[in-house]
């Protein structure tokens, strides 16, 4: 499963300066879920890196 389109939205929202809690609301996810999405990523957030990290963890 690919979450890449949502990750692109996250990347764009962060570039626009939205706070993580605001982005979580826009994406209809819990703040804790969104925090887990951000945690493995380096700053600035990269949708491409986040998807690669997810794909790698699914293969394990």
Q: Cα–Cα distances in Å, from 16 out to 1, 3, 20, 22, 46?
A: 27, 20, 11, 11, 14
Provide φ and ψ at 2, rounded to 5°.
-115, 130
7-21 burial, b at 16+ Cβ within 10 Å, e below that, comes to beebbebbeeeeebe
Q: Can you give the residue ranges of every domain in the chain? A: 4-59
pLDDT at res. 6: 94
- pLDDT per residue as tens digits for the range 10-60: 999 999 999 999 999 999 999 999 999 998 877 899 999 999 988 988 876
pLDDT at res. 41: 77
User: 40 with 19: CB under 8 angstroms?
Assistant: no
């Amino acid at each position: 499963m690919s979450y890449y389109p949502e990750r692109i939205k996250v990347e764009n929202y962060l570039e626009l300066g939205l706070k993580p809690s605001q982005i979580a609301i826009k994406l209809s996810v819990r703040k804790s879920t969104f925090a887990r999405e951000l945690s493995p990523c380096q700053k600035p957030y990269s949708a491409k890196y986040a998807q690669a990290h997810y794909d790698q963890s699914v293969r394990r």
